[in-house]
Amino acid sequence: MAKKESTKDKIIRVSTRMFLENGYSATTVQAVSSELGISKGNFTFYFHSKEDILAVLTDLLCKFQRELMEYEAGEGISSLLSICLELMSMAAACEENEVAKDFFISAYQSPVCLEIIHKSDTERAKKVFAEYCSDWTDEQFREAETLVAGIEYATLNAVDKAISLETRISGALNTIMTIYNVPEEIRKIKIEKVLAMDYCSIGKRIFKEFKEYVEQKSEVL
């Protein structure tokens, strides 16, 4: 017998759909509560604010995106190319979809969500860049990831469309890999590879597949 969906999971599932269809900024707690047919007080019993749900989704999306990009890159677990492809695809999604941009930017602007991003990306960086930063401490990786998050945020929130997406991403990826001591020749190869991939298509799929992923899970926590 299928397990009955809890109110908490219903809130997450419906919020996800509304965030990704209508926009995170445009979706209110009252709107989610009305859609579910519950009181605002019932909502806040499980989540104090919609930012709390954004934090849950940010954690899930970090893991989901990592697996998707590793699959698309085809170079194994925690590959350098998958990191490059992730930023490229996110930027492409933001370029074409204001709802996607609103979601990503809201996550980077939230202290709670940004801490989740920092923690997730730092752990991955320690694996991906280990050979280039073999003498680094955990603190150095955390400091580097703080810089990287700033670069990612600026890249996703770009307002000057006169500079092409490819140029912006190439510069961002080159800077990020330089921070982690990746040799110039390897940086060049990875950037050329990611630019040759169908990153726009992957960017369009991220939210569609993520929404389906959340909807299909009976327990997301």
CB 18 within 8 A of CB 39: no
In angstroms, the Cα distances linking 21 to 5, 16, 24, 117, 175 are 22, 8, 9, 23, 33
Identify the sign of the CA torsion 54, 59, 60, 64.
positive
Nearest to 166 by CA among 131, 125, 197: 197
Q: Which carries the bigger pLDDT value, residue 158 or residue 22? A: 22
Tell me, what's the pLDDT at 218? 47
Tell me, what's the pLDDT at 219? 52
pTM listed for this prediction: 0.88
Query: Within 10 Å of residue 108's Cβ, how many Cβ atoms?
Result: 17
Distance, in Å, from the CA atom of 130 to the CA atom of 138, rounded to the nearest integer, reads 11
Q: Which carries the bigger pLDDT value, residue 66 or residue 217? A: 66
- For the chain, which residues make up each domain, given as ranges? 56-207
Angle subtended by helix axes 80-96 and 165-179, to nearest 10: 150
Q: What is the DSSP code (8-state) at residue 181?
A: T
Q: What is the DSSP code (8-state) at residue 2?
A: P
Tell me, what's the pLDDT at 83? 93
Q: Residue 5: which pLDDT band, with cuts at 50, 70 and 90?
A: confident
pLDDT at 3 over 80: no
> For the chain, what is the mean pLDDT?
90
End-to-end CA distance of the chain: 20
Token pair 């085809």: residue: 74
Q: Give the pLDDT confidence of 141-177 residue by residue, as tens digits.
A: 999 999 999 999 999 998 766 788 899 999 999 999 9
